[in-house]
A = this chain, B = another copy of it.
Amino acid sequence: MEALEGGADYLADERKKTQFDVDAMKIFWAGGRHEFQIADRMARLVASDPEFKKDHRAMLGRKELFKNTLRKTAHAWKRINELRLTEEEASLLRFFVDEPAFTDLHWGMFIPAIKGQGTEEQQKKWLPMAYRMQIIGCYAQTELGHGSNVQGLETTATFDPETDEFIINSPTLTSCKWWPGGLGKVSTHAVVYARLITDGEEHGVHGFIVQLRSLDDHLPLPGITVGDIGMKFGNGAYNSMDNGVLRFDHVRIPRDQMLMRVLQVTREGKVVQSNIPRQLIYGTMVYVRQVIVYDASRALSRAVCIATRYSAVRRQFGSQNGRETQVIDYKTQQSRLFPLLASAYAFRIVANWLTWLYKDVTERLQAKDFSTLPEAHACTAGLKSLTTSVTADGIEECRKLCGGHGYLCSSGLPELFAVYVPACTYEGDNIVLLLQVARFLMKTVAELGSGKQLAGTIAYMGRAEHLMQSCCSVQKAEDWSNPDVIVEAFEARSLRMSVTCAKSLSQFSNPEEGFQELQADLAGAALAHCQLIVVSKFLEKMQEDIPGEGVKQQLQALCGIYALSVLKKHLGDFLSTGCISPTQASLANDLLRSLFSQVRPNAIALVDAFNYTDHFLASALGRYDGNVYPKLYEEAWKDPLNESVVPDGYHEYIRPMLKQQLRSSRL
């Protein structure tokens, strides 16, 4: 046997090639020294704690898997308290534990919903219990029959003035709550969205705090049917979450459990608008989507880290100094992998910018300035859609880049894909979101020339006249490394696509009909706008000082790869709108190839900069030391099927087949 085992670093040669300061890049990636340090500390804390071991997840049955997750959640909570972690630390600890669980919804949706939609009094009553996990809550909006169309929800909350209560009811099968995470088995409470009815009149959909289970014995309260909705995509993956079904049979709750920050129901059953503007709620949406964009950069970088390391270890065909070629040296491999590496960095930069945007929006809302809200809303909706779609596809591409071995659970990639893909659907179906962006764009285009001030990510539309006829100046490949050239090409493309859509829309006498008919093109225009935002934010970041030797150069190369690979993928847009010429497209492709070569020697260091532990990656292929084969081999033998050499079922099913005396076969 070849001696592959041992403490050696099989990627040492790769790491020697690095042309930049990896530690500085780690800090850039983390978003600062402080951020790096806590993330690093939490990651190590989790990795070194045997309670958080990830082994065998893929092999567990549903009940074992779920119980195992409960155990880890309880242990995490214990550690959070023992170590007196801050909220920031606690949330990172939960992230590195890396198992979807009811706590995600409790901290990520239940608490924010009460914060955002509850009165001060309600917050004072419920939040302390929630913070101490004396109650556990979930977010119960979606029903069997309605997800995207929240206004179509069927659950009713009817005010009964006699008792000063709401009666929560599920009038149809399709009105059952369906999907809420943490609902099925754990949550004691839920924020339930229902149609408010007082005095026979409907007042739209609102949130209500409803207790679901007894705090004594965890049994569902009278009138409540609750359960798990069953297995979801993949092994392990999201199956550690108890997404649930919930049916109400005339369940009564006190009036003060309606979340009344914006709308109130009085003792008499009158519906009163509070003096708090509705728009405040959009702040929460911007926040939640910022988190999703950030998570996209995490998931994509994780997959890219695995695929990049394995591509440097894997050799197939050809020969370099007598050994076969590392597959990372194949240009097809680079042209699939490096744009994803660049996207991971791009999304991280955009996520950090969104943190700023959220702060900005919040401050403005507090000052009653709602002017930037539509733009911020469109921008975050679009970026959620774009980043999650690219990440979902990107993880699967990384899996394919690992050849056959990527199909094994021990590669870590199947579970990562299965656990990630619903991000394209929850918090707004990605197509539905793009269509919202498109509506905003069409409104903006319609108002062009009206003198209305265009700010933020939509400012470029103010230069419509110029952009409609601008000409790309590229004459040689390197011209494409000029940020102004790139931004203008993306701006022109986006604007022209929007304008074309607007023109086509104006042909319809009924604009809504037109919008329906042209949906596909509108979604295309929206995507173009979102890609422009990512490219712009990446380029803007490159205007700043970035500490660390060679760090900025690497980021600039990645920025070029991001922009030019998007351009290549959507070349039809750029050419058909006349933004660039075929020759310029071909020059862009030349520069892209040379950027790949520039990044190649730094590829391993660029994924090392993510600072992921082997525990977190949970991948035989993505190991830091590159020693993949012994690990793959070792993992295989752990499968329950290998408990016996002769499989269970041999005597009943295989042996009779082998021993039979066939007479009747016609084969």
Contact = CB atoms under 8 A, between A and B. Distances in A.
Contacts of A172: 1-2
A18 interface: no
A186 B657 CA distance: 11
Interface string A132-155: 111110000010111111001000
A71 B648 CA distance: 11
Contacts of A573: 571
B232 A414 contact: yes
14 contacts: A2-B172, A59-B61, A87-B667, A144-B633, A146-B316, A148-B403, A152-B324, A173-B629, A174-B629, A218-B646, A228-B636, A230-B408, A230-B635, A571-B571
Interface stretch (A156-164, A346-354, A374-382, A517-525): A517-525
A647 B227 CA distance: 10
A332 B653 contact: no
Interface stretch (A287-295, A422-430, A472-480, A545-553): A422-430
Given A231-B409, A414-B232, A576-B586, A641 B184 contact: yes
A562 interface: no
A400 B425 contact: yes
Nearest to A2: B172
A403 B418 contact: no
A431 interface: yes
A638 B230 CA distance: 7
Given A71-B649, A636-B227, A666-B86, A233 B517 contact: no
B589 A521 contact: yes
Interface string A624-649: 00000110110111111111011111
Contacts of A19: none
Contacts of A219: 645-646
Which of the four size classes fits the interface of chain A? 35 or more
Contact of A572 (B147, B406, B571): B571
A266 B649 CA distance: 42
Nearest to A185: B647
Contacts of A517: 331, 593
A218 B519 contact: no
A90 interface: yes
A404 interface: yes
A665 B80 contact: yes
Contacts of A82: 664
A271 interface: no
A566 to B, nearest CB: 12
A297 interface: no
Nearest to A89: B666
Nearest to A577: B582
A495 to B, nearest CB: 16
Interface in A253-277: none
